[in-house]
Structure 1
Amino acid sequence: MRAKKTVAIGILGSKLDRVGKGSQRWNKWRPTLSLCQQPDLLIDRLELIHGEARWDTDLALKVAADIAQVSPETEVRLHPMALQNPWDFEEVYASLHDFAAGYPFDTAGEDYLVHITTGTHVQQIVWFLLAESRHIPAKLIQTQPSGAREDDSAPAGRHVVTDLDLQRYDQIAKRFQAERLQGTELLKSGIATRNAAFNRTIEQIERVAARSRAPILISGPTGAGKSFLARQIYELKRGRHQVDGAFVEVNCATLRGDTAMSTLFGHTKGAFTGAQQAREGLLRSAHKGVLFLDEIGELPLDEQAMLLKAIEEKRFLPMGSDKEVESDFTLIAGTNRDLQARVNEGQFREDLLARINIWTFVLPGLANRSEDIEPNIDFELQRYARDNGHRVRFSAEARRRYLSFATSRDANWSGNFRQLSASITRMATLADSGRIDMALVEDELERLRQDWRLPATSDPLSEHLANAGLEIDLFDRLQLESVLRVCRTAASQADAGRKLFAHSRTAKASPNDSDRIRKFLARFNITWSQVHELSAPRR
């Protein structure tokens, strides 16, 4: 089978290909000629692009003639190209793109190389873009002198080939993936979250934060972590050199009257009664950085109009000034409100909502992320140790008890992660010898019950499972609770078996209903004598 031909595409070097006069030119390194002199690379055809001026055409013909001497197997095709300014990106891209679009590439029979040593830096960049996007199905090739001087004793020099098909570079792909994982870990602060929906949200936020400067809207209940996440987004953007300004945060629910306008947009001296000095304002403080407006749904309407202008034009008027100022900030907004409902009520501008609603992410409350409670407990203990200089741990029994209650249906976590943080901090502060024991946990659980206005009851089944060191799925928990309810109404263990296995027992020659119940309960370390005790909460 015939081997594929090698075709090179390049631009004539107006300076480097022109060096040397007469016979002296053979002692000079000339990049286009060097391309066809490589001992381990045969160029079957060279597509050489050059300017339309007479001296460019003459040089191209001379180079083609010299190539014929050193590599008679190489066919040289000349392509005059009119370029008014080879440093104008738009013009260069359009010309080279048109060349690529009209070239009859035959990837089945030919391999292609793009020579990026010659031409302006703009032309080299465009070659790179066209090859990377596969508009030109080619690898890149660079030629260079063998030594430090262009009049090297070996004018052929050497070459390097680069394939831009990143799918062939597993290590590069792994590094990109590792960078993305680092980004998501930063957004989660290293917390090993287990909630699938939340993890998908974080992955989307990482991609958006890394690629877009458009506003981001974070929705979720109070305490769900909106402010914390906004700061982590800022850290991600700063780490990737997208922002170099400050992170500026304000809760819009605290802004009222002239104070709101002045706080956000600044004011001149004497702009209103009491304005004895000029004030920069938070929007200007966030120049080149991130402005986080928490509870943006509480922002007054006049300020909403000015904010919209500032987002779209990056310009606004401070109070009392007739001269606009600039601030190129990235906006992150937070809300626990339904902003569309606020629009319908006339309390929020529809055009502002449309502008900040490009990327909206909903953070679920802690009660809807019960699987994330345990890793967040560990995070809070680590934070306590960092802030206070000593470590605190749960005893095994106390940890099981706290987790069992924290993930139960009674735990509504109305204050979300903020409330969980306060709960762990209280126990850690009161822990003697760095150990949170059962007594501390029971006191804390009673406090949470009071905060949530729960009846003063305890869940004996949860206590039993925790004391037994059993962590079971919700499916098993619901099944166990159903079995216990039937057992509580039965006269005996055998009677409970007859009720629970009314259908399947008929297929057995000698059904042992009592034994089947005993074995099921034994999976959870429960005996028949404990059934009534575990079936109802204690008051």
Structure 2
Amino acid sequence: MKSTTVIGFLGSTLDAAKFGPSRWNKWRPTVSICMQEDLRVDRFVLIHGSYHRRLAEFVMQDIRDVSPETEVVPHVMDFEDAWDFEEVYGKLLDFAREFDFDPDTQDYLIHITTGTHVAQICLFLLTEARYLPGKLLQTQPHKGGPQPIGTWASIDLDLSRYDSIASRFAEASAESTSFLKSGIETRNAAFNRMIEEIEQVAVRSRAPILLMGPTGAGKSQLARKVYELKKLRHQVEGPFVEVNCATLKGDSAMSALFGHKKGAFTGAVQDRPGLLKGADKGLLFLDEIGELGLDEQAMILRAIEEGRFLPVGADSEAKSEFQLIAGTNRNLIDEVAAGNFREDLFARLNLWTFALPGLAERREDIEPNLDYELERFAEREGTRVTFNKEARDRFLAFAESSSARWQGNFRDLAASVTRMATLCPTGRIDREAVDFETGRLARLWSGGSAGEDRLVGIIGADRLGSIDPFDRVQLDFVVQVCRQSISLSEAGRTLFAASREQRKSTNDSDRLRKYLARFELDWAAITH
């Protein structure tokens, strides 16, 4: 059976009492621990300051009287300021590192009822981090009349042992990841795993985060959601500052980012704090960071590492404490190799790097994002618009097909929904609106050739995407001839004139009818 060691502070107020029999009518937490019938204390490490040495000796003697088997070990720890978190934590950490712990043969209880609130918090943190390899010990007096013994309870910070707490933790984590996804129930497993990791990093680290991915993949929106999550957790106080580095060119880049002093250059008519200063205590999102020049990159690196930078024309440095999220659509490894991006800055950013997939790589997420964009339209315009079932199915069939390129990623989808919703005065998106929109997208992605425009108008973009490119050229020629002819027979004669003499049957209209049927078309569909 293991022996038990208690580690705790002397309570300069709670443990104090007048010398005499009356003290045994008072609850004194340190003494009461050794009076419990169901808790055997083999050793008590009592931490106290030099100033309270006399009280410590008084309490230790009472412990020996009520529990002769308990070895009391005094440990003097003085603080210049007992409410200075850094000092208290540092000295307790040194104590923990020097203490000869032996968890194989001893159980440790860390008493957190006595000591200043700062000391109690530090004991909790050190126990949670396993610098103090034990359980927390809480004591309290009995309710009612005077009773010196009170009650005690131990808390094991291994939350995996508490199903209800573990369940609530899992629910809170799920809420955070859903928050980062704007509440969208995404179905892409790889994306969901990435968001879960970003959630953990966001709430547990202040290190820079690098978001890589194509334009329109959602880097800016995700960065803002990370900020809002940290704001909810009271981890940031300042603002969210977003900078598109592609818009910062030449000498103005330094001034915009780091600020300038009045008179630093022509046009500097007053001091300017700069964007980094504006992000103090908050979050700075540098989108397209690969567009910055090497000089700006060097200044950014120093600002990240030291929280200091030199405004243009200034004699003294400015300070700003911010968390950085950087975004880029470039391959920064290639940019480093080409000498366009500083290797030391990339190394600093590359601790937490996440590659956001484009919409074409997350086609299963198009449907939930479609609903999300309709909700955004309703909030923005004050008008709720919905699809009828046939139109919704038709749009999703096109959107999720391989022919839908989604070159602009979620920006393309958002713009598409906005167009359909805006051009639908009845508040109901129908098949005609979908066909018109999918035709527009197909033309946009194909470069807008006249032939494809004609075919999209007849059979729709989704069906056109399933037709072989060689067949598209032939079909477009057939359509043009049909529209220039007054009848199916005339169009057939024009199309098959070169081969009429070699065939036994000259029923050109029947041959054309069968050709069009291959594509589920007829004369009326082409010429109406």
1:292-307 → structure 2 map (5 Å cutoff):
292-307=285-300
1:23 matched residue in structure 2: 21
**1:522 paired residue number:** none
Alignment match, 1:9: 6
- Matched residues in 1 for 2:379 and 2:56: separation? 72
Answer whether contact 1:392 1:428 (CA < 8 A) is retained.
yes
Partners of 1:104 and 1:364 in 2: how far apart? 49
Q: TM-score, normalised by structure 2?
A: 0.78
Partner Cα separation in structure 1 for residue 11 and residue 219 of structure 2 = 58
Give the direction of change, closer, same or farther, for the CA distance of 1:202–1:45 in structure 2 (3 Å limit). Answer: closer
- Cα distance in 1 for partners of 2:441, 2:11 equals 79
The aligned amino acid for 1:263 is A
- The aligned counterpart of 1:77 is 71
- 8 Å Cα contact 1:101/1:135 also seen in 2: no
1:93-150: CA deviations, max 9, x gaps?
333454451576256xxxx6443334455654454345445566644333333358xx
Q: What residue is the counterpart of 1:66 in the other structure?
A: 65
What is aligned with 1:419?
Answer: 412
Is this contact kept in 1: 2:258–2:274, CA < 8 A? yes
The one-character-per-residue Cα deviations of 1:248-277 (angstroms, maximum 9, x if unpaired) are 112111111222111111111222112222
Instruction: Select between 251-260 and 421-430 the one with higher mean Cα deviation.
Output: 251-260
Query: Mapping of 1:323-402 within 5 angstroms?
Result: 323-402=316-395
8 Å CA contact 1:315–1:324 kept in 2: the answer is: yes
- Which amino acid counterpart does residue 291 of structure 2 have in structure 1? E
- 1:164-192 superposed Cα distances (whole Å, 9 cap, x missing partner): 33122222112211221111111110111
Instruction: Structure 2: give runs of 5+ residues left out of the alignment.
Output: 83-87, 469-513
- Other structure's SS at 1:263 match: helix
- CA 1:432/1:14 → structure 2, altered by over 3 Å: closer, same or farther? closer
The aligned counterpart of 1:44 is 40
Q: In the alignment, does 2:439 pair up with 1:439?
A: no
- Please state if 1:91 is matched with 2:91: yes
Q: CA deviation at 1:25?
A: 2.1
Task: Give the counterpart letter for 1:62 in structure 2.
Answer: Q
What are the within-5 Å matches in structure 2 for residues 515-530 of structure 1?
none
Matches within 5 A, 1:59-458: 59-68=58-67, 75-85=69-79, 87=82, 88-99=88-99, 101-102=101-102, 105-106=105-106, 113-119=109-115, 121=117, 124-125=120-121, 127-129=123-125, 131-133=127-129, 138-147=134-143, 152-453=145-446, 455-456=452-453, 457=455
User: 1:6 touches 1:43 (CA, 8 Å); kept in 2?
Assistant: no
- Paired AA for residue 74 in structure 2: P
Contact residue 438 and residue 460 of structure 2 kept, 8 A = no
Q: Is the 8 A contact 1:246 1:286 kept in 2?
A: yes
Q: Is the 8 A contact 1:13 1:119 kept in 2?
A: yes
Q: Does the C-alpha gap of structure 1 residues 322 and 462 become closer, same or farther in structure 2, counting only changes over 3 Å?
A: closer
The alignment partner of 1:9 has SS state of strand
More deviation in 10-19 or 234-243?
Answer: 10-19
Quote the Cα distance in structure 2 between the aligned partners of 1:257 and 1:463.
Answer: 46
Task: Specify the SS of the correspondent of 1:45.
Answer: coil
Q: Identity of counterpart residues, as a percentage?
A: 52
CA gap of 1:228–1:450, structure 2 versus 1, over 3 A, is: same
Cα deviation per residue 1:31-72 (whole Å; 9 max; x = unaligned)?
Answer: 23322444xx4333341224697746742552134305xxxx
1:13 and 1:31 in contact (8 A); partners too: no
8 A Cα contact 2:8 2:110, kept in partner: no
Letter in 2 for 1:28: K
Tell me by how many angstroms 1:368 deviates.
Answer: 1.3
Q: 2:32 aligns with which of 22, 34, 42?
A: 34
**Contact 2:308–2:317 (8 Å) recurs in 1:** yes
Cα deviation, residue 78, structure 1: 2.1
Structure 1 unaligned blocks of 5 or more: 69-73, 465-476, 482-527
| Alignment match, 1:517 | none
Matches of 2:74 and 2:211 in 1, distance apart? 55
Provide TM-score, normalisation by structure 1.
0.77
- Residue 349 of structure 1: CA displacement? 1.8
Matched residues, number: 461
What are the within-5 Å matches in structure 2 for residues 526-537 of structure 1? Answer: 532-533=518-519
Q: Determine the structure 2 residue equivalent to 1:524.
A: none
User: Following TM superposition, by how much is the alpha carbon of 1:341 offset from its aligned partner in structure 2, in angstroms?
Assistant: 2.0
Q: Tell me, what secondary structure is at the counterpart of 1:271?
A: coil
Distance 1:48 1:374, change over 3 A: same
Which residue identity is paired with 1:9?
A: V
Q: Which amino acid aligns with 2:61?
A: K
Return the alpha-carbon distance in structure 2 between the equivalents of residues 260 and 12 of structure 1. 55
Looking at structure 1, the residues matched to 410 and 140 of structure 2 have their Cα atoms a distance apart, in angstroms, of 60
Counterpart of 1:427, as a letter, is M
Question: Structure 1 531/100 Cα, relative in aligned 2: closer, same or farther at 3 Å?
Answer: farther
